[in-house]
């Protein structure tokens, strides 16, 4: 019977595993993901500068854009953000998980996934309110893309098999964990209510998650 490993050894293993994942991540080539993140960052910086120039907060600026320049706003909606935390969550997820997903698809299929996520999440956000007599006057954020790349990681076929615990100590495993968290967040959002109301759930998150799950079955 092998000797029991002490706490220090277990901590050392965790640190070593973290370094291995970080090293693996740094070696990833992800030009499409970098381009998407660059666009999102560029637009958010533009929002911040416009806010400074006009004296408006970013949320107020977004509301103004949808009210006065709806065509421009709806076109940019997948890359507009309502604030710093909204922006950071989406950028970190797309950059981290998207770069991993990009390794598993051809460039054409990966771009298709991103476009489907952007369009599908925007449409889902609009349609989520329609059954309850409400009209979606605005939707914004790259959350749909973030949820799509995350849930894609869960749905696609694993090279190792989802039961392989060693896979968790890899970039692929990290992406799968992110996908599971995304699914749980969507499920909680729907379960928490308020039921059968215009603000029941976030349609953009649900739409992106569904696009990712379906794409994982057919694009991978």
What CATH number does the domain containing 46 carry? Answer: 1.20.1540.10
User: How many domains does one find in the chain?
Assistant: 1
Report which of 198, 219, 52, 211 is spatially closest to residue 146, judged by C-alpha positions. Answer: 211
CA distance 191 to 181: 15
Report which of 198, 187, 32 is spatially closest to residue 128, judged by C-alpha positions. Answer: 198
Biggest CA–CA distance in the chain, Å, is 73
Q: Which residue has the higher pLDDT, 111 or 166?
A: 111
pLDDT for position 160 = 47
Q: Which residue has the higher pLDDT, 198 or 116?
A: 116
Residue 163 has pLDDT above 70, yes or no: no
Residue 186 has pLDDT above 90, yes or no: yes
Domain annotation covers residue 193: yes
Report pTM. Answer: 0.85
Q: Which residue has the higher pLDDT, 20 or 10?
A: 20
State percent of the chain over pLDDT 90. 59
* Residue range(s) defining the domain that contains residue 28: 7-218
Domain annotation covers residue 1: no
Domain annotation covers residue 69: yes
Domain annotation covers residue 14: yes
Mean pLDDT of 64-91: 92
Q: Residue 108, class by beta-carbon neighbours within 10 Å (0-12 exposed, 13-18 middle, 19+ buried)?
A: exposed
- The answer to whether 122 and 139 have CB atoms below 8 angstroms apart is yes
Domain annotation covers residue 177: yes
Alpha-carbon Rg for the chain, nearest whole angstrom, is 19
pLDDT for position 182 = 96
For residues 25-50, b (16+ Cβ closer than 10 Å) or e, as one string? eeeeebebbeebbeebeebbeebeee
Domain annotation covers residue 176: yes
Report which of 148, 153, 154, 125 is spatially closest to residue 211, judged by C-alpha positions. Answer: 148
pLDDT for position 131 = 76
Q: Tokens representing 77?
A: 């909606």
Residue 181, SS3 per DSSP: helix
Domain annotation covers residue 20: yes
Domain annotation covers residue 28: yes
CA distance 194 to 52: 36
């Amino acid at each position: 019977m092998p000797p029991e490993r002490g706490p220090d050894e277990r901590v050392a293993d965790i640190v070593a595993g973290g370094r291995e994942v970080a090293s693996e991540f740094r070696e990833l080539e992800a030009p499409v993901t970098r381009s998407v993140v660059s666009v999102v960052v560029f637009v958010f910086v533009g929002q911040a500068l416009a806010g400074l120039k006009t004296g408006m907060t970013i949320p107020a600026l977004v509301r103004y854009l949808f009210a006065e320049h709806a065509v421009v706003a709806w076109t940019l909606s997948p890359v507009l953000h309502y604030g710093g935390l909204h922006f950071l969550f989406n950028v970190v997820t797309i950059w981290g998980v998207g770069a991993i997903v990009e390794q598993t698809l051809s460039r054409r299929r990966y771009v298709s996934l991103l476009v489907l996520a952007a369009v599908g999440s925007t449409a889902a956000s609009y349609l989520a309110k329609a059954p309850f007599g409400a009209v979606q006057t605005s939707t914004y954020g790259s959350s749909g893309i973030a949820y799509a790349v995350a849930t894609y990681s869960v749905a696609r076929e694993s090279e190792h098999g989802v039961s392989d615990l060693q896979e968790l100590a890899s970039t692929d495993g990290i992406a799968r964990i992110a996908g599971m968290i995304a699914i749980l967040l969507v499920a909680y959002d729907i379960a928490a209510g308020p039921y059968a109301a215009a603000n029941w759930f976030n349609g953009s998150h649900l739409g992106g998650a569904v696009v990712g799950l379906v794409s994982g079955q057919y694009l991978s």
